[in-house]
């Protein structure tokens, strides 16, 4: 069985480590980037099976990252789970308009993140 790859774009090390731990334990290959520019560069060269994207990042926010992804061929259809502490309706609506696959707020249940990823990359 081929391991599914997920890229986590999260600038809080404790959160990205927690996500890495729960996903690795569930059979995912996890890569982490702490800022949007580095993540976009990595995504262009080797798109993963899915992306977990924080909204508040140091250099460009998750909306800007998502907008860039949806504008480019190789990443236009990439499944994206936006995982953020900001869960206002305006944030949800903008994420939906930009093409997010799923939107979840922090704190999150580990099982919900795993289920969302499995659903997003189902064969």
- Rounded distance between C-alpha atoms, residue 64 and residue 80, angstroms: 13
H helices present in 1-123, as ranges = 13-25, 36-45, 62-71, 89-98, 110-120
Question: What number is the average pLDDT over the span 34-42?
Answer: 93
Peptide bond just before 107 cis, omega within 30 deg: yes
**What does the pLDDT read at residue 44?**
86
Question: What is the second-level CATH architecture of the domain 5-120?
Answer: 3-Layer(aba) Sandwich (3.40)
As given in the structure block, the two tokens for residue 76 are 């236009």
pLDDT in tens, 39-91: 999 998 889 999 999 999 999 999 999 999 999 888 999 999 999 998 899 99
Q: What's the pLDDT band for 1 if we cut at 50, 70, 90?
A: low
pLDDT in tens, 89-116: 999 999 999 999 999 999 999 999 999 9
Nearest in space to 8 (alpha carbons), one of 108, 38, 71: 38
Q: Count Cβ atoms below 10 Å from residue 11 Cβ, excluding itself.
A: 16
Q: What's the pLDDT band for 2 if we cut at 50, 70, 90?
A: confident
**What does the pLDDT read at residue 35?**
93
- Rounded distance between C-alpha atoms, residue 74 and residue 55, angstroms: 22
- Let me know: does 80 contact 48? Beta carbons within 8 Å: no
């Amino acid at each position: 069985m081929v391991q599914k790859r997920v890229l986590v774009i999260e600038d809080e090390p404790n959160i990205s480590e927690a996500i890495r731990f729960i996903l690795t334990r569930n059979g995912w290959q996890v890569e982490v980037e702490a800022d949007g520019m580095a993540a976009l560069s990595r995504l262009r060269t080797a798109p993963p099976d899915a992306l977990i994207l924080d909204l508040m990042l140091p250099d460009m926010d998750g909306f800007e990252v998502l907008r860039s992804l949806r504008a480019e061929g190789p990443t236009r259809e990439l499944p994206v789970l936006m995982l953020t502490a900001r869960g206002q309706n305006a944030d949800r609506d903008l994420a939906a308009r930009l093409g997010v696959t799923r939107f979840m707020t922090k704190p999150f249940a580990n099982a919900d993140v795993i289920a969302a990823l499995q659903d997003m990359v189902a064969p």
